[in-house]
Structure formats: C-alpha cells, structure tokens
Structure 1
Amino acid sequence: MMRTPADACADARQLIEVLPRPLPRDEARRADAVQATLLASGLLDSSNLGNSPAVAAAARDGLTSLAHLLDEAAPGHGAGQLLLLLLAGRDAFTPHPAPDEDQLRARDTATALLHLVLWHTDDPLRLLGAALQVHAEETRDSSTGRG
C-alpha cells in the first residue's frame, strides 16, 4: 500500500527531527547514526539492520518523504527542489532564492541518507532516481484519489 503525501511529510519531519546534529565525522559512526535515525522514524524495522536491501529501501523512502515535504512550500516542485538542494550542497553554490532553514535541514537529511546508502548499494544515484519516481507516483495517486 502506498503512503499518502501527508504520511510521507510526517515521516520526513520525524527524520529531520531525530537526525543528530552534528553527525559524527567518522564514516562508520555516521552510518550508524543515520541508520538509528531510520529506525527511530519507523522507516526501518529493527529486524532489518543488517539487510542492505531493506536499509536502502528505507533510505529511498526517506528521500521520497523529503521530496513530499518540500512539495508543501512549492507544490509539484519538491523533487526538483530536493535535487537542486543536493547539488547546491555538493557544488557549493546557493540557489535563488536562498534556501530557508527548513530546506537546509531537509538537504542535510537527504545528504546523510545518501551517505548511508553508499554502505548498502553500489548505485546511490539509481536509488535517488527511484525515490523521485515513487514521489511522482504517490503524488499522482493522491491527486487522482487512488492509493
């Protein structure tokens, strides 16, 4: 059963709230902290801690949720906004208009999820693409009353 965008927004808020700030500098400890965030948010079940496909799926759901959350401020543009924020953070440029604090926290959470995914898949960009595809499907289904 697909989640509604409202459910996804609640998941994204939970992820953002639970993610420790600052994250540990050590890669392994950072991965553990982000995985603990997925557990606390309910996107990952404790029985799946060592299961890379399950962790990757939870991270994908987290990225999808963040895109839905960004849709709230700019309906229909959350996925593009998430990509722009991720690129801006990586390439050190500031989009116009400058992101607000909530957008920056969403970007930091997405970045942390993508770092975790590096431990669980060899193609994080494909996982990000899958997250944005799920976002589009959930958005479409909610607008047509399906789901």
Structure 2
Amino acid sequence: MRTPADSRAYARHLIKGLPRPLPQDEARRANAVQAGLLASGLLDSNDLGNSPAVAAAARDGLTSLAHLLDEAAPEHGAGQLLLLVLAKREGFTPHPAPDEDQCRAREAATALLDLALWHTDDPLRLLGAALQVHAEETRNSSTGKA
C-alpha cells in the first residue's frame, strides 16, 4: 500500500499532467486523462486499453486526490473530494467556495470519473472504492502499518 505522502506526490503529478482546459471531445479528453495518469506514474504504458488496469489507475488517482486534499484539512480530504465532485455534477458551489488547489483537484477527479465511464460499469462504485482505500491508507499511516 502507498503512503499518503506517496499518494500526494502522485496527485500533484496527475494534476500537472492534465492539460488546462481539458478537451471537450470525449475521445480526446479520455486520451488526455490517460496521458495524465501515465505522467503521474499511476498507469503503465503497457496497460493502455486494458479496462481493469485503467479503472484501477483512475481509482488510485481519486485516492491520491483525497490524500492531497488532506494536506489542508487533515482526515477530511475524502469528504472534500466527494463534496467537490457532487457540487460539480449538481451545479452548486460549496461554502466556502473552493480555492484554486481544490478546483484543480475537482477537475482532475471529474476527469478521472469521465474516463472511468469508458472502463467500468459503475464509476460511483469506483469513487467509493477510492474513498475506502483512502481511509485504509490514512488509518495504516497513523498506526504505523505498511
């Protein structure tokens, strides 16, 4: 299992690897997100086109984004990520309004969920799995387990 610090580094590389703005065309957007996953190290080039591997990389990306959000609000990153994704999907702005880093994490998470639509039947289950992994990694890091 990765440590939260490792995950934060992956998230930073993922965010940096995504073009801004992301392409609107679905296929180009999916390719851009896969390129971001490759740049982050969450996806191996041998796994392109392998739906289970891409879905797992998307899940790991979501987990990493939750760990990144933990930096500003320890142990609340998963809740923040969920709120940011739901706010984007439902078209509302949480209070307080997200800062630039939170907006970038939200855009990356939304892009990962869009990609997941191509590789899994249930992207929300993927998000739930990511939040579960986040909880396990957070718990293990606080108890010193590897």
TM-score normalised per structure 2: 0.98
Instruction: Write out aligned runs for 1:18-29 (5 A).
Output: 18-29=17-28
Paired residues, number:
146
Q: 2:125 maps to what in 1?
A: 126
Q: 1:7 maps to what in 2?
A: 6
Distance in 1 separating the partners of 2:75 and 2:31: 33
Deviation at 1:99, TM superposition (A): 0.6
Amino acid at match of 2:134: H
TM-score normalised per structure 1: 0.98
Instruction: Write out aligned runs for 1:1-147 (5 A).
Output: 2-147=1-146
Measured against aligned partners, the alpha-carbon deviations of 1:95-132 in whole angstroms (never above 9, x if no partner) come to 11111000000000000000000000011011000000
| Residue ranges of structure 2 left out of the alignment (5+ in a row) | none
Identity of aligned residues (%): 84
| Residue ranges of structure 1 left out of the alignment (5+ in a row) | none
Distance in 1 separating the partners of 2:109 and 2:5: 18
SS at match of 1:73: coil
Distance in 1 separating the partners of 2:57 and 2:9: 15
Deviation at 1:93, TM superposition (A): 1.1
Deviation at 1:87, TM superposition (A): 0.9
Measured against aligned partners, the alpha-carbon deviations of 1:46-69 in whole angstroms (never above 9, x if no partner) come to 111010000000000000000000
Q: Which runs of 4+ in 1 moved over 6 A?
A: none
Deviation at 1:20, TM superposition (A): 0.5
SS at match of 2:118: coil
Amino acid at match of 2:145: R
